[in-house]
Each structure stands twice: as structure tokens, then as C-alpha cells.
Amino acid sequence: MDFALLAEAFDKMTRTSSRTELTSILVEVFKKTPTELVSRVSYLTQGKLFPDFMGIEIGMAEKTAAKAIEKAYGADPKKVQELMRRHGDLGDVAAELSVSKEQRSLSSGKLTVEEVYKTMEEIAKTSGSGSSQTKLGMLSRLLNSASSLEAKFLVRFVTGKLRLGVADFTVLDALSLRFTGSKEAREKLEHAYNLTSDLGYVADLLARHGLTVVEKVEVTAGKPVRPMLAERMQSAEEIINQMNGVASAEYKLDGERVQAHKTLEGSVTLFSRRLEIITEQYSDVIPALTSLPAKQFIVEGEVVAISSAGKYLPFQELMHRRRKYELEAAQKEYPVVLNLFDVLLVEKESMINQSYEARRVRLEKLFEKAKTKHNIMLVPASTVRDSTQIDSLMEESLAAGCEGLVVKDLQSSYKAGARGYAWIKFKPEYRPNVRDTIDLVIVGANHGMGRRAGVYGAFLLAAYDEAVDIFRTTTKVGTGFSDLDLEKISKALDEHKIAEKSPRVDARVNSEVWFEPKMVIEIIASEITLSPIYSAGLGLVRPGAGFALRFPKFTGKIRDDKAPEDATTVQELLEMYHKQIRQLEKGKEETPSANPS
């Protein structure tokens, strides 16, 4: 398959932000893709070579890519730098330089998708001393045979800046249309994807064997399952009603979610909530997990930092584990416990379709027989039948240093990748009149002034609009940040800086700097209001107005355990807005009039 075909499609994709259009461009691409390449093309359109959980990134440094460009086109480094300043994008620089080269020689061979993928794979897997020189050579050889358009996308790809705005679900829609003729199979594809988190794998199965085989996909040790998520509710009464009078209440621990997989080879891998490998960070829980009595399993839990007295500590304490170096010292200094709350696979038996009750019994059995329980525990769970029981467990959990409760439907299966009322999170913040936390994506920033010069001072934040896969702005925040926070956030954001607003961002306000929607931070606000300048939920409550936040403040939590698509959604903002109105009205009814007539 000619790489030119893909480069042309990529080019079209960069010119649209319409999801329908993106889908039809992808359908056309899949029509021209030979069966054996469907999985590779699926990954490539997402700027990847493998599913995220494999942890293999191409990530060539811009400097190395610039050198490859100089080498391929015999260009002067100064010229490359000057073009970079002009375009702000190394792909465009390569495209421009390659035009003059194309005029000089027409000897370039045709690049194929196979060849590009293979070289990219080699680049990704080359490491160690002298590797940047080797990588540079490989890229420059590809550039030598590339057209101007191909060069542009090759460079964007290796530097991790492809940015086509193609979400997983757009690829699933396109696959469904291409291989079944309608979007109806999308749900089945999504299910298989939720169980395996591997788009290329699902695409390959569909292309080679058809939908009936995709429907048989099961959870597999080694392939992370997309996590089941909780809805929120504000009172114990509401929760027990929703649960029809009986449920299991578990402590909501304030740590990091972990999915642990043991494969038949005997090794245990830990995946984060975003399904990235974090085994090393928490390697101190591995021996106990390995000792669970099963040759293969998938269990879930929350890793929490604990004090020397064995008390749960807040989420921030886990940050010490993010260090790349001196991890061993951090492990000693900041001990953690993995608190298990679910089991999705034991031996060959998938537990996904079993009830919570059955899964919990299985988990308890597994845990009881662990040879060592050092650093692992079971999350405390109690059956509740009325709101007073929920309220008193809530007090207990807060006293133990937890965030609140997750109340779970006893009969519910494990709903991979879905947020629903089978799990309800209940935090004190959700109680009436107390402020709620919201996770938003940073899409823009203004430069700081005075003491904050040199870093960003205020951030433009967006909520996720799931229906159309777009990030819509809802507030600017500049308070709650320590100097260290600003430094850290600014440094991390610089990697995602882009010349113009991303096509995946919808904003009605301007920003000095724009970013790819990547980084999620936690915000607290006193109220959700309506404003004409924000685009989240525009027109949902009042024509011409979207949701804005009153007194927004950073809580100190950078949610790097959340992908941008896991941020608070526009729909959730709408629900919070309605809840707030209901509370206000209830408050008015309950407050006796000051001047009874």
C-alpha cells in the first residue's frame, strides 16, 4: 500500500474538525487498505505504532528530527532553524525543504506503508548510546524517498505531533462502516475494545474474520480492561433509592487506581487508570500479588500511601513515586498498600459478566490464600440497607483518611469502559452546599506577570463533549497554584504547545498560547454559572450562553492518571448545574421568610 495514500488522507484530516467528515475519510482509507495492514493503519492514524499499554513510544526529539532533515536535504542548520521559527512546525519545514529537493531530483522511490511502519518500529525500539545517530539515519533515509506531503507527516509522526484529532471511537465508527456497511456494529466493536484496549487487535479481527469473531473477544491477561467508572450522587437517600434498598458500600480510597495482570508466564504487570504500565512505580506490591493462588488473573485496586502508623494518606503523597530516579529510596520513604476491590479474570474464567457479589466472594477467596499479604489488602465493604448505614460508613471512611464511599449494585456485572449508576461515588463535597471538584483539560494559557514571569499565570480550561469528541472551554483559572505547581505545569505544557487552537478545541475566548488538549487538572469552584464567553454547553440552558465556573481554584491535583477524554464532561456540568438549581430551590422552600406577614 502506498504511503502517499495515507499522507493524502492525513492532509485532508488536518483540514476538518467534523467528526462525520473524519469518519468518511477513514472509511475511504480502510477501503484501500489490504486486510493484513488494517491494524497497522488503525494505529498510524492515531499517531501510534502499538496500543498504549505496550508503552512503546516513537518520541524522537525535535533536535534529532531536525538533524535528519538537514541530512536528507543537505540543508544548512541555520536554514532549518529559520524555517522552524517561521512555520513553528518541523513537519512543515521538511515539506518546504523537500519541494526544492523534488525539483532537483525525481529519483525518489515510492514509500509503502509497510516500509514506513517497519522503520518507525525500528526507530521506536532503538535505544542506548549512539541511538539518536541511528534513528536520525533511519528517518533521513525515509525522507529521501518521500514526497513533500509524505515528509510533512513522517516528521510529525516521529516527533509525536501528528494531531489528526481522530479519537478511538471515530476509528471504531469507520471500521464498522467499512466492514459491515453500517454504524450498527460499532457497539459490539466498542465492547471488544473495552475488554482489550487494543484498537488494532479489534480492527484486525474484524477485517480478517468478521463480526462474529469480534463478538467472542474475552478479557485476556496482559491486555488491560478499560475501567468501569462511577456516577456521583449527593445524598445517602438518593443512593439507597437508586440501588433499590440494598447495596455494598466500599471505602473510596484517595490514591491511584491500578489494574494488576498476571499472565501464564508468571509475571505481574500493573496498569494505571489510563492503562499505562506503572509496574516499576509500585514494584513493592508485586511479590504479594504474585503469591495469589492463580496462574493468571486480573484484579483491580487502589494504591494508597500509608503513614508509619498505617493510616491512609492523601493522593498527593503518591507523587513521590513518580520519580524516575531513586525510586527505591522513595519506596522505602513513602510506603503504599494496594487495596483490592475487584477481580475480572481468574485462570481461564472471565468474571466480567458475573455479579458484583460473586466477584467479591471470588476476590476474598483469592486474597485469603495469598502466601504473603505484605502491602496488599482488601477494600473494606459492607452491605447497606438504608441511608443511615451509608451515612455512618461515610463518617467511618473519612475518619480512616478516605475520600468517601463507592456504593455498588450487588447484581451488576463489570461494565468495562462505562460510567454508570451501578457504582455511585459519594464524597462529602457532593453533599448540598459544599463545593464540588471538577477535572478539566488545559487548552490555553496566558503568560504570568510579576513574580510569575517566565511561567504561565492563568489557564484556559475545557470540559469534554463526548458526543462529538471536542473540548469546550468553561473557565480560566489562576488561583490555587504554588510557584512550584506553576513551574511544573508550565514545563509539562510546553511539550504540547501549538501554533493555533487545536481543531479539537471549541473556544469563544482568546488565549496567548494554545495547547493540545492533554493535561488534566482538578478544580474546585463555588458555583456553575452561565456566560456568553464560554462554549461548554452553549445554548443548553440559555441561548447564547455556556457554562462558566465561579471562583475557580486549583486543588493541587494534576490528574495525570486521567486522559483528556476522562475529564468532566459537558453532560456532567449540565447535571451539576441542574442539581445546584434544585438545591437552591429547596433551600428557598426550607428557609422561613424573615418577615412573615
Stretches 38-46, 140-148, 225-233, 278-286: which one binds ligand ATP (CB under 6 A)? 225-233
Q: What is the contact mask toward ligand ATP in residues 371 to 390, using x (rule: CB under 6 A)? A: --------x-----------
Q: How far is the CB of 467 from ligand ATP (least distance, A)?
A: 19
Closer residue to ligand ATP in complex, CB, 195/405 = 405
Q: Is 567 in the site for ligand ATP (CB under 6 A)?
A: no
Per the listing, cell 479474570 goes with 345
Closer residue to ligand ATP in complex, CB, 229/294 = 229
Closer residue to ligand ATP in complex, CB, 40/360 = 360
Stretches 6-14, 222-230, 360-368, 547-555: which one binds ligand ATP (CB under 6 A)? 222-230
The only residue of 38, 164, 230, 270 in contact with ligand ATP, by rule CB under 6 A = 230
Q: How far is the CB of 415 from ligand ATP (least distance, A)?
A: 11
HSE-CB of 408 using CA atoms within 13 angstroms: 27
Q: What is the contact mask toward ligand ATP in residues 259 to 278, using x (rule: CB under 6 A)? A: --------------x-----
Number of residues forming the site for ligand ATP (CB under 6 A): 15
Closer residue to ligand ATP in complex, CB, 5/313 = 313
Sign of the C-alpha dihedral, residues 153, 154, 155, 157?
positive
Q: Is 141 in the site for ligand ATP (CB under 6 A)?
A: no
Neighbours of 543 (CB within 10 A): 8
Closer residue to ligand ATP in complex, CB, 83/524 = 524
The residues facing 436 across adjacent strands are 525
Closer residue to ligand ATP in complex, CB, 347/575 = 575
Residues 13-52 that bind ligand ATP (CB under 6 A): none
Q: How far is the CB of 421 from ligand ATP (least distance, A)?
A: 12
Per the listing, cell 454508570 goes with 420
CA 495 to chain centre: 17
Closer residue to ligand ATP in complex, CB, 30/426 = 426
Residues 6+ away with beta carbon under 8 Å from 112: 1, 2, 3
The only residue of 156, 163, 252, 362 in contact with ligand ATP, by rule CB under 6 A = 252
Q: Is 257 in the site for ligand ATP (CB under 6 A)?
A: yes
Active-site entry in 67, 135, 252, 562: 252
CA 113 to chain centre: 28
Q: Is 229 in the site for ligand ATP (CB under 6 A)?
A: yes
What string of H, E and C letters represents the secondary structure of 420-482? EEEEEEECHHHCCCCCEEEEEEEEEEEECCHHHCCCEEEEEEEEEECCCCEEEEEEEECCCCC
Closer residue to ligand ATP in complex, CB, 41/462 = 462
Closer residue to ligand ATP in complex, CB, 338/486 = 338
Cα dihedral angle (418, 421, 427, 430), rounded to 10 degrees?
Answer: 110
Q: Is 431 in the site for ligand ATP (CB under 6 A)?
A: no
Q: Give the pairing type, strands 520-525 and 436-447.
A: antiparallel
Q: Is 436 in the site for ligand ATP (CB under 6 A)?
A: no
The only residue of 30, 271, 341, 547 in contact with ligand ATP, by rule CB under 6 A = 341
What string of H, E and C letters represents the secondary structure of 380-429? CEEEECCHHHHHHHHHHHHHCCCCEEEEECCCCCCCCCCEEEEEEEECHH
Q: How far is the CB of 328 from ligand ATP (least distance, A)?
A: 25
Closer residue to ligand ATP in complex, CB, 252/496 = 252
Given a contact cutoff of 8 angstroms between Cβ atoms, the answer to whether 558 and 521 are in contact is yes
Q: In one letter, which amino acid is 573?
A: L
Q: What is the contact mask toward ligand ATP in residues 508 to 537, using x (rule: CB under 6 A)? A: ------------------------------
Q: How far is the CB of 439 from ligand ATP (least distance, A)?
A: 6
HSE-CB of 571 using CA atoms within 13 angstroms: 11
For 3, the grid coordinates are 504511503
Given a contact cutoff of 8 angstroms between Cβ atoms, the answer to whether 272 and 242 are in contact is no
Q: How far is the CB of 324 from ligand ATP (least distance, A)?
A: 23
Distances (CA, A) of 147 to 2, 49, 266: 12, 22, 47
Q: Please provide the DSSP assignment of 218-264 as one string.
A: ---TTSPPPPPEEEE-S-HHHHHHHTTT-EEEEEE-SSEEEEEEE-T
Q: What is the contact mask toward ligand ATP in residues 295 to 334, using x (rule: CB under 6 A)? A: -------x--------------------------------
Closer residue to ligand ATP in complex, CB, 171/344 = 344
550 membership: H or E segment, kind and range: strand 546-550
252 part of the active site: yes
Q: How far is the CB of 138 from ligand ATP (least distance, A)?
A: 39
Stretches 105-113, 151-159, 248-256, 344-352: which one binds ligand ATP (CB under 6 A)? 248-256
Q: Is 406 in the site for ligand ATP (CB under 6 A)?
A: yes
The only residue of 89, 92, 250, 465 in contact with ligand ATP, by rule CB under 6 A = 250
Stretches 216-224, 246-254, 291-299, 409-417: which one binds ligand ATP (CB under 6 A)? 246-254
Neighbours of 54 (CB within 10 A): 14
Residues 6+ away with beta carbon under 8 Å from 42: 171, 175, 199, 200, 203
378 membership: H or E segment, kind and range: strand 376-378
Pairwise CA distance, residues 505 & 17, whole Å = 9
Q: What is the contact mask toward ligand ATP in residues 438 to 457, using x (rule: CB under 6 A)? A: -x------------------
Q: Is 415 in the site for ligand ATP (CB under 6 A)?
A: no
What string of H, E and C letters represents the secondary structure of 315-367? HHHHHHHHCCCCHHHHHHHCCEEEEEEEEEEECCEECCCCCHHHHHHHHHHHH
Q: How far is the CB of 405 from ligand ATP (least distance, A)?
A: 8
Q: How far is the CB of 426 from ligand ATP (least distance, A)?
A: 10
For 145, the grid coordinates are 524517498
Give burial (CB, 10 Å; 0-12/13-18/19+) of 444.
buried
Q: Which residues bind ligand ATP (CB under 6 A)?
A: 227, 229-230, 250-253, 257, 273, 302, 341, 379, 406, 425, 439
Which of the residues are catalytic? 252
